Amino acid sequence: MTSFLLVISTSYAYPIFSANDAKKIHQLGGFSIVNAWSFFSKRYDFLRSNREKTGHALFSFKVFQHQVVAMSGENARKVFFSEKDFSFEQGHRLLRGAVPTLKDIKMMSENSNVIMLNKRLLKIVRKDRLQSGKSYHGSAQSNTSTVIPTLVSDVNKRMEAWGASGKMDPFKDIYDLVFQLTIRLSTCEELATNADSIKKISALYWQYEKSITAVGLLLPWFPSTAKKHQKQSTKDLYDILSHYVDARRKAKVPNSDPFDVLIADGESNAVIVEFALLMIFAGVVNTAMISCWTLFYLGANNEWKNKVIAEVRNLISTYSDASSSEQIHERFSSIPVSVWEDETPAIEGVIRETIRLIKTGPALRRNLGDNIQFADKTVDKGAYVVYNMADVHLNEMVYSEPLKFDPSRFSPPREEDKQGHLLFLGWGAGRHICSGMKIAKLEIKMILALFLSSYEYTLVGKSGMPLKESLQPDRNDIHQSKPLGEPCFLQYRKNLE
């Protein structure tokens, strides 16, 4: 591999000399392959350090023949998130690797653009469907189920498997829990209750994620082992999911599960599988990451942990029968979706603050329109554009003590996120709001509510001793943002009901 990279460097890593023309975007000097490699391997550090070194709000570098423009500052943020010709999908395709594409296994799906996929997602996560299990088949024989109690039951079953006490790695156990919920929300009952199939899909998911390497992104034509794993995992994922789609097509009685909803709409296997892959790959990594870090921050902040616990207890007492003999998770099932969304201000603030602190990497776009003039500079047609979210999320001019966990910053009278334009980007912004935001927040809130009402916990290191230093995320880790330094675990003990 080393000799191969040397060959590549002599072929493509030509030196770049930054231009002094004030009308042109400042271009980083040095070898293009070095800049590109640094960007793909340590994106946060690369963008932050070059912003500081150059002093320019805009600078550019090359990824082979592609120009990449890094933007920062308030005006750049407005352009980045509001420009209609800046493509989210195309930006992620080159610079992030995106989700598995059926093109890799020659299984093309019709109507596979982002707009159509989002329409399907919004139909699946409609509030009435989540709360009532509403059927979309128009048949009295349709078998419907209420989604909320099913999700709560899934969370409880996973937590019961942890036992009464122990030490967990949240980046394993919480991720597995989120994976279960995502499968439930994107596929069908038969798959969501098949532990072996879920394990296989989870293994393939991580095989694909870890095959997205700097070499693979920089050299998409190079037949690396990671590239082969990527293609094979895509095929295996398709085969498993397509098998369950076929099973639902043969079912005598339709139900309200996502696969059945899409089958009733006349969608092909390829379209349905692509939808499921989008849900899994877009949902798991972000929802699980936020869930893990929310538990970390609350574990280090008793004041806010107690506020959230009090809020959860109030939900239970208000929306369930206090005299009921039902277990805690069963009482949660009666809480309406609207209450989870609108009557949990403490949890909402905690999630928002967690996202602000950990979502600090680059947002990605590609200019598919004409050349765009910005600040007397030109962003060329076809150029890739990146905006490092730390530019606003960790900006001390926007957020006081930006590295401090302080959810009260979002509440009156402070409302630091409302003192300017696009100051919080955690769920997307402008023209690209995350269409899965509500369902992701619902999952996170359910996990927090059930965990905090069922367990006491402390943050410990590998040895089981309490952590001595505050946790900081690895901002270059685009998959999980694990803490820097010593691994962190949750030492938990179940409450007596």
List, for residues 379-406, the tens digit of each pLDDT value: 999 999 999 999 999 999 999 999 999 9
377 forms beta bridges with 374
Q: What's the token pair of residue 216? A: 């693979």
Q: Is the pLDDT at 16 greater than 80, yes or no? A: no
Task: Spell out the residues 6+ positions from residue 180 whose beta carbon is closer than 8 angstroms to its own.
Answer: 154, 158, 192, 198
β-strands 489-494, 455-460 pairing = antiparallel
Q: What is the mean pLDDT of residues 106-130?
A: 66
Measured distance CA(460)–CA(468) in Å, rounded: 9
The per-residue pLDDT for range 159-210, each reduced to its tens digit, is: 999 999 999 999 999 999 999 999 999 999 999 999 999 999 999 999 988 8
Phi, psi of 457 (to 5 degrees): -155, 160
Q: Are 62 and 32 contacting, i.e. CB atoms less than 8 angstroms apart?
A: yes
Measured distance CA(179)–CA(173) in Å, rounded: 10
The per-residue pLDDT for range 425-479, each reduced to its tens digit, is: 999 999 888 888 999 999 999 999 999 999 999 999 999 999 988 899 999 998 8
> What is the helix (H) or strand (E) element at residue 251, kind and residue range?
none
Q: What's the token pair of residue 126? A: 């409609």
Q: Are 8 and 33 contacting, i.e. CB atoms less than 8 angstroms apart?
A: yes
Q: How far is CA 439 from CA 127, 184, 257, 433, in A?
A: 9, 12, 15, 13
The per-residue pLDDT for range 472-488, each reduced to its tens digit, is: 999 999 888 999 998 99
Q: Which residues are annotated as a binding site for heme?
A: 434
pLDDT of res. 144:
39
pLDDT of res. 104:
56
Q: Which residues are annotated as a binding site?
A: 434
* Cis before 466? omega within 30: no
pLDDT of res. 140:
37
Res. 308 pLDDT band, cuts 50 70 90? very high
**Of the candidates 261, 246, 211, 251, the residue with the CA atom closest to the CA atom of residue 232:** 211
Res. 103 pLDDT band, cuts 50 70 90? low
CATH number (3.30.160.20, 3.40.50.620, 1.10.630.10, 3.40.1550.10) of 103-361+389-494 reads: 1.10.630.10
Res. 29 pLDDT band, cuts 50 70 90? confident
**Of the candidates 452, 469, 451, the residue with the CA atom closest to the CA atom of residue 460:** 469
Question: What's the mean pLDDT when you consider all of the chain?
Answer: 87
Res. 5 pLDDT band, cuts 50 70 90? very low
The length of the chain in residues reads 497
Q: Are 14 and 32 contacting, i.e. CB atoms less than 8 angstroms apart?
A: yes
Percentage of residues in the chain having pLDDT higher than 70 = 85
pLDDT of res. 99:
63
Q: What angle do CA 101, 273, 155 make, to 5 degrees?
A: 110
Return the higher-pLDDT residue of 418 and 115. Answer: 418
Measured distance CA(458)–CA(78) in Å, rounded: 41
Q: What's the token pair of residue 451? A: 């965990």
Q: Are 258 and 124 contacting, i.e. CB atoms less than 8 angstroms apart?
A: yes
Q: Is the pLDDT at 54 greater than 50, yes or no? A: yes
What is this structure's pTM? 0.90
Res. 101 pLDDT band, cuts 50 70 90? low
